[in-house]
A and B are shown apart, each in its own frame.
Chain A
Amino acid sequence: MKNMLDIFRFHTGGISELTLNELLKTNEESKKYRLMLTAADARGLMETRNQAISSHGRVELGIEPVKKIIAAFCTSPYIHQTEYARTMSQLIEVFYYMKNETEDRIGDDELIGIMVEFFNNSCQGSLELLRDREMDRYARQFRSDIQARIKTLEGDER
């Protein structure tokens, strides 16, 4: 019996009205920072989220990470209304990229916190620097540290 899992299709999440409304609820907090998503923006974010999950070979149970990213980054002084939706889209893409690069060893909240830290400080709001310099460097160092820890543990066991 090939591909038993066909009987259970993995949905990366259809874009239901319920989901869009949940995303739009984030406006209640973000509007304090003069940042608002339109319905089209929300739909666009969900499409990005679905695309990112699919392209990075992941399964996602819900939209919590998207809401958390919005909540964490809407306070950034480097994000303005004109590029709000686009920036959030790219941050979602970076988030799922980094989940793979850190081998699922970092929780969602912790990873988002690291991204905010770099974005607001060393990257000064540059998505390119965040993605192509800081997060890549962080991922390499993280994996190297893990390997070193594994080798130490193996040495101790012997």
Chain B
Amino acid sequence: MNSYSSLDPLTHIRKQRLDPYHYTISLIQEGTRAGQLEQETVEEIQVQLMSLLAELILRYNAGESTSLKTETAQRILLSILYSMDACMLSLNGPEEALTLLKKGRVREIYDRGVALVASCREESERLYEEIMDTMLDVPIVAYHSTLNSLGGCFRSYDLIFDARDIRVDIDYPLLFDDMQMEGIFYIRQYLQKLQMETEFCRHFNIADVKKLLHNYGRVYRINYRESLINVFEIVLTNAIFSVISGSKAVAVRLSWDQYKLVKGKLSGLDPIQCRRMINQAIQDMMAMMGIDQPGWKEYISRFTPLLLPRLLSALESNCLDNVIILDQEQKQLPHMLLDEGRRMDDDSFRSLINKILSCSDREEKAAIITASTHSIGDFVDVLEADCMFGEEYRAVFSILGDMELSLLARIVFVDEIRADPAGFTLEKDVMRYCQEQWQTEYVGFLSGLSKKRLRSVDQYIHASIQLS
């Protein structure tokens, strides 16, 4: 079916007034308004339509009755118009459609339309069979129940008396679905898009896809098997970010390092730059996957306006891991393990400080310190080396375990602990003046912790006091 959206300079027909979902009626109305259709012609069309309706009513009743319930008659009339719409939309524009109408060939339009509807049904059945042969092996209830329901809809589809309606339960959501369409043409577009989405997902290892869905459910705290989620959208999102991370192959499982790389690339970008990056990643992804069908490219490219607001919101709230779905194992950062002994030599320490200073990314700095320091002495030396600023301290403290935090507390609150070892607790107001920048940042970090966490750190403090 063709769709039109521009003003035709040659006629007075305003194409934007034409409704592609009720085309014949809107064309008659617009044609009348524009003076292209005489009232006589419209009446003649009405007479022919009524005649066609009467014929179908008799056929519906197998010639045994001349009356019908109004809603049944309306359904048949809508069915007639549905077929006529199919014919009219297949023509080369509203001008050709109007010409046919003016000739008063309602029957011809209808017959041609019925043939098109029948052809669409055959095509849809073929599409369905193809999808069944290649369907995804994913444990999504809605996906399978929808395919089951679609299997039965072709047999029961009544293209003469009820073309506009088709009995099917479609629960599985597409990424982009045209819900205004009806009848078999709706089914065909649904199947075409489902096939595209399925084929895209089949480019990836199915075990990876299943794992991704499992992680998605974990992140959003939903039973993903029972939820009405679109597999293609979830797979596509991770695939796009795998490309942004610089990966040579498009993948759906991203490592923590890839995640950090993506986060680094996206931070500081304005919305326009973000959009540009996503669009480029989509183009690159399609090139890498060999996707060159125009329909596919158009469908996938429509994803950017959907993804961008989510991405921008996630970047602002520092929860990019709600958009890029990671494995649980990869997401968990190892806590730093600090030892009372084992200090590094001076050269190594200087080298470490230089490395930290040359790094501008907060997360990366934290990662470097995590990997390189193993003793509390070295760790405090790094904190005191003026190689970090503001939020960078917090990034480091956030990866410490409770035990490590307690070691730092014993340094920062040495006087308070000495004064009242049994009564000391971090739950009291711990804001105090500190000489060292890192201590000020540490105290600030503690004030943001929950009472439960503070109690846990307290326990380590008291445990170590008892041991000493």
Question: A-side interface residues toward B, CB under 8 Å?
Answer: 1, 4-5, 7-8, 10, 53, 57-62, 64-65, 96, 99-100, 104, 107-110
A7 touches B66 (CB 8 A): no
CB contact under 8 A between A57 and B71, given known A1-B19, A7-B25, A8-B77:
yes
Candidates B64, B66, B71; contact of A110 at CB < 8 Å: B64
B68 touches A58 (CB 8 A): yes
B66 touches A65 (CB 8 A): yes
A-B pair number, CB within 8 angstroms: 65
Tell me the smallest distance from the CB of B163 to a CB of chain A, in Å.
15
Residues of A within 8 A of B78 (CB): 4
Q: Give Cα distance in the complex from A10 to B68, angstroms.
A: 12
Confirm or deny: B288 has a beta carbon within 8 angstroms of a beta carbon on chain A: no
Residues of B within 8 A of A5 (CB): 74, 77
**Which of A8, A65, A99 has most chain B Cβ within 10 Å?**
A8
Tell me the smallest distance from the CB of B29 to a CB of chain A, in Å.
7
CB contact under 8 A between A58 and B70, given known A1-B25, A7-B29, A107-B61:
yes
Stretch at the interface among B49-57, B135-143, B261-269, B337-345: B49-57
Additional 9 contacts, C-beta under 8 A, given A5-B77, A59-B67, A59-B70: A1-B22, A4-B81, A5-B74, A57-B71, A58-B69, A61-B54, A104-B68, A104-B69, A110-B64
Q: Give Cα distance in the complex from A156 to B73, angstroms.
A: 32
A104 touches B66 (CB 8 A): no
Candidates A10, A57, A104; contact of B61 at CB < 8 Å: A104
| Interface positions of B from 113 to 141, Cβ below 8 Å from A | none
A107 touches B81 (CB 8 A): no
6 residue pairs from A and B, CB less than 8 Å apart: A53-B67, A59-B67, A99-B65, A107-B62, A108-B64, A108-B67
Tell me the smallest distance from the CB of B110 to a CB of chain A, in Å.
14
Confirm or deny: B227 has a beta carbon within 8 angstroms of a beta carbon on chain A: no
**Which of A1, A5, A61, A64 has most chain B Cβ within 10 Å?**
A61
The interface bits of chain B over 39-55 (1 if a CB of A lies within 8 angstroms of the residue's CB, else 0) are: 00000001001100010
Beta-carbon nearest neighbor of A108 in chain B:
B65
Beta-carbon nearest neighbor of B47 in chain A:
A8
Majority-rule SS of B interface residues: helix
CB contact under 8 A between A59 and B64, given known A1-B26, A4-B25, A4-B81:
no
Beta-carbon nearest neighbor of A7 in chain B:
B25
A109 touches B67 (CB 8 A): no
Question: B-side interface residues toward A, CB under 8 Å?
Answer: 19, 22, 25-26, 28-29, 46, 49-50, 54, 57-58, 61-62, 64-74, 77-78, 81
| Top-8 shortest CB links A-B | A107-B64, A59-B73, A60-B67, A61-B66, A4-B25, A108-B65, A57-B70, A61-B54
Tell me the smallest distance from the CB of A32 to a CB of chain B, in Å.
26
Residues of A within 8 A of B22 (CB): 1, 4
Residues of A within 8 A of B69 (CB): 57-59, 100, 104
Residues of A within 8 A of B49 (CB): 8
Candidates B19, B28, B57; contact of A59 at CB < 8 Å: B57
Tell me the smallest distance from the CB of A13 to a CB of chain B, in Å.
11
Residues of B within 8 A of A99 (CB): 65, 67
Residues of A within 8 A of B67 (CB): 53, 58-61, 65, 96, 99, 108
Tell me the smallest distance from the CB of B165 to a CB of chain A, in Å.
15
Beta-carbon nearest neighbor of B60 in chain A:
A104
B25 touches A104 (CB 8 A): no
Tell me the smallest distance from the CB of A154 to a CB of chain B, in Å.
14
Tell me the smallest distance from the CB of B128 to a CB of chain A, in Å.
21
Beta-carbon nearest neighbor of B62 in chain A:
A107
Q: Give Cα distance in the complex from A5 to B66, angstroms.
A: 20
Beta-carbon nearest neighbor of B32 in chain A:
A7
Residues of A within 8 A of B58 (CB): 61
Q: Give Cα distance in the complex from A94 to B286, angstroms.
A: 69
Q: Give Cα distance in the complex from A133 to B237, angstroms.
A: 68
Candidates A8, A10, A64, A104; contact of B72 at CB < 8 Å: A104
Residues of B within 8 A of A7 (CB): 25, 28-29, 46
Residues of B within 8 A of A4 (CB): 22, 25, 78, 81
Q: Give Cα distance in the complex from A99 to B65, angstroms.
A: 10
B66 touches A64 (CB 8 A): yes
Q: Give Cα distance in the complex from A65 to B71, angstroms.
A: 20
Q: Give Cα distance in the complex from A59 to B57, angstroms.
A: 10
Tell me the smallest distance from the CB of A153 to a CB of chain B, in Å.
14
